[in-house]
Amino acid sequence: MKTIPCNPKASDEVRSVLNYFSKIEGKGIITGQHTQTMAQEELDYIHQVTGKWPALCGFELLGYSPNINYEDSGEECLLEVAENQDTLQKAWEWTQKSKGLLTFTWHWFSPLNGRDKSFYTEHTDFNVSKAIIEGTKEYKALLSDMDHMAEILREFCDKRIPILWRPFHEADGTWFWWGSQGPKIAKQLYRIMYQRYTNYHNLTNLIWVWNSPLVQGYVGDDVVDIISRDMYPPAHQHTDLSKEYEELVAITRTSKLAAIGEIGPIPCVESLSTSRIPWLWFMTWSQDFGKTEKFTTKEELQRAYHCDYAITLDKLPKLY
């Protein structure tokens, strides 16, 4: 069964990816890894341990936020931003050389009144409830940042590269400014971006991924292609996450593809091959989650990537 994109103007490449996802649902899980530096040590670690590469690679856009307050930021923040610089080059290499699947995470530095890591609520005085009201300075700042990022995404659109776009991630929590005043406002922010990117900027290469398991926080089927959630189980706990899957798909009565947007210890791929819980992909988070044994042992990683149920880069067909 084909999956129809929520954007009627979606590119052929988006449709190709979604059709592929529909075919593999419950028949395999796409391996994924987040990165946020030029070094991409997480990918090298996976390849060193397993001899394989993930089929889906995540890249971080925090350093491309237009309103980073360099004067009022600590050393940790400045280092994180510096290490993230120029990582779009790696995203281009991934798509041009590897032809792998691509996703972006945007830890969006506050459009106004931010300091230090201002994607965190505690580091900004940005009034997000005013940002959804047309004509306010907050709304204008919100759109200005969106437009800035749209130009970065446009380059991928022009090259017809599909992107799994997961904006306002973890909107069920209050730790990021976009979720700081509850799911109702977070939903409106997402809809503002969807309309802006779909109708104004005509970004036809985006596959829209919602990232929250809250029923009352769901933004709506009309602007979502894939539902997802982030999970951080205890270190070395590997299951098929069946309970978490049932909680996620309960947010809508429509049959939606479902994915793991972020995870600490990887799911048990062997268990998934038996239970067939139809997680579409898993994305291990970066840094120690993806390049050490603190959360997943080398043996577990090896078993996962060599399981017949795992879809690694070498098993991925040409989709764009």
Give me the catalytic one of 262, 270, 293, 299: 262
Report the alpha-carbon distance of residue 19 to residue 16 in Å, rounded.
5
Residue 153 half-sphere exposure toward CB, CA atoms < 13 A: 31
Residue 89 half-sphere exposure toward CB, CA atoms < 13 A: 9
DSSP assignment string, 79-125: HHHHHHTTTHHHHHHIIIII--EEEEE-----SSSB-SSTTBGGGB-
Pick from 100, 32, 99, 115: which is nearest to 67 by CA? 115
Give me the catalytic one of 42, 60, 80, 170: 170
The answer to whether 262 is a known catalytic residue is yes
Pick from 281, 312, 290, 295: which is nearest to 26 by CA? 281
Structure tokens at 122: 């505690």
Contacts 24+ apart (CB under 8 A), 218-223: 218/187, 218/251, 218/252, 219/187, 219/190, 219/191, 220/187, 220/191, 221/6, 221/252, 221/254, 221/256, 222/6, 223/6, 223/190, 223/191, 223/194
Strand partners, 283: 32
**3-class SS of residue 207:** strand
Strand partners, 59: 104
Residues serving a catalytic function are 170, 262
